[in-house]
Structure 1
Amino acid sequence: MDSIAQDPQPAPGTEEVLHVRTGAVARIILNRPRAINALTLPMIEAISALLNTWADDTSVQTVTIEGAGERGLCAGGDVVAARREALAGTDHMAFFAAEYAMNSRLASYPKPVVAFMDGIVMGGGVGVAAFARQRLVTERSKVAMPETIIGFFPDVGAMYLLSRAPGELGTHLALTGATVRGGDAIATGLADRQIDSGQWPELLNALADGGPLPPVGDTAPSSELSDQRSWIDECYAGDDAAAIVRRLENHPNEQARGAGEILRQRSPLSVAVTLEGLRRAATMETVQEVLDQDLQIADHLVTKGDFAEGVRAQLVDKDRSPKWKHARLEDVTRDEVIAAFG
């Protein structure tokens, strides 16, 4: 995108994060475009260091988070590396601990953060954007937490927001990992406003001049997901994942049945643990509480769940044929779910 061509400098420790000061705005630019800016541990450490540097800099009024290239802000975290560490018996939690600490820092940052959620924003990409003060989607945005297909769960604090979405919209997104456009992201609380992607330079100039974001864009674009609230709220109610999938499969609505088919493809253990985590997150008061829970769940699913197999099937061998520990959601016991929470 044009906004990178303003003499950005590599962050300390990696060239995969750039930073540049433009007037009153300090910009973080994720710079791994061939991987849709997927986060590595050095990138996370660099982002955290920049946030710490600018927190007490009185000349910085706003921080922005952007992605290099045209494909998206960030496609997620480097789960292939996390899987490799886990299989090798080394510190597989270093990545997640650093990532969740960065998410916490963003959620409590003392200055306004503006996230440009253009293009693909998934997994860890939601983590760097969803707790910003202003979260801007565009006509090109594709937002998702697709972790249950890799034997994981919607982490990076996302369950704090998804558990607070209207009705059961957040439950639908968390369990299926469905990808949504800008209007749905706003409707579910993952974004604030939809702008035209070409308006970003104009908004950057306003921030550089020390002003607030101009009132451009739409805070309530149409949401296809909201139009489906009747079957979503009906089917996803309750705490029993197996009952949810059966309601979906037997529903007269075609989209509901399609969601049921999707859930049958996901890791049964991950779906059941995600539902439990989501219900618990709804009772938590802070993002930090949810991130603490995320750390516990992550360690359990990486070491005792379907994470290694899911990442293998989707991202390593790419055969899309995972062999989950359980054949069906009905086979996951309550004790196995509770074990993920310590």
Structure 2
Amino acid sequence: MSTWPQWLPLREELAPMSAYGAPQVEADASLNTNENPFSPSPELVKAIAARVTEIGSRLNRYPDREATELRTSLANYINSQSATSIDISNVWAANGSNEIIQSIFLAFGRKSALGFTPSYSMHPLIAKVTATPWIDGTRRKDFTLDCDAAASQIESLRPTLTFITTPNNPTGSALLISEIEMLARSTQLVGGLLVIDEAYAEFSSEKSAITLIEKFPNVVVIRTMSKAFAFAGARVGYLVAHPSVIDAMRLVRLPYHLSALTQVAASAALEFSDELLATVQGLIAAREDLASELSALGLEVIPSCSNFLLFSGFKRASADVWKDLLDKGVLIRDVGLEGYLRVTIGNGAENKKFLMAIKEVLNK
């Protein structure tokens, strides 16, 4: 039953909704939001501080609304990682990837959007907020995506926007570039965009969908600096796409939407990309070790190409297991899939504490 006051003219479709957000509670090991557990190095912190000091006297002026320096740095980073030749005209930056997602819906969500759940829960949520009809596509029972079936759904439903997340959240599975190309062709045939959310791309060995944009201008790739770059607090997301898509972003952006402080901090972080990406390899190794440890406990672990693991095999309700872990100081994520929980890969101490806690909980 709605608790909104009668005098408040809230849109009817929003009334039954709840605000998005993972639980923010105190825990010894917070492994629920897929953050990178490693803080920026002292050298990077100094570089950010120097850049902020440099622009401090100019904060009475609005920031560069085109974020020229940042977008140029992002283009250079992408080219170094994917052997592409994109430039600033292919890149858009915003306050986190969620703002990018919202802008895509605002610009293109005139008919319907299709996504294959379970996947990133913000896609259907932002669709509803922007009044875009959302269609839940299907996955296999093991949560992997049957691309032939997905292509058939695209061809029959003819959505304006088709969302796929690779590596997928909350499962961690990744698509082959050949599978993404098949979906790009299917969306192109129905006059739609294929939106690929690559928030966890740096943790996967699969080829990025960015490499398809030249051949398929309807391919739109969303990225973030929150995960691999350990920059969640700065809130920087970006889009890589055909220049026409970038032009459309300008139509729906808020004026001066990316602060001068954010722009210079992110530009400084990109100068340390080699250092930051070195931690990714360590997290991948820790992910595989943790998966082996959980499997040895008799749990079923979904193969992951990301910085988290989805696992099941409990003898009790997953919500009870989650609560028992929290009581032991370990916060992981109940993603709403009955029988499954998700744990972020933390630092060595956090992973050890999680393993000790899950062993105790399983033996309860």
Place the TM-score, normalised by the shorter chain, in its bin: under 0.3
TM-score of the superposition, structure 1-length normalised? 0.25
TM-score of the superposition, structure 2-length normalised? 0.24
Q: Which of the two has greater helix per residue?
A: 1
Higher relative contact order (CA 8 A, sep 6+): 2
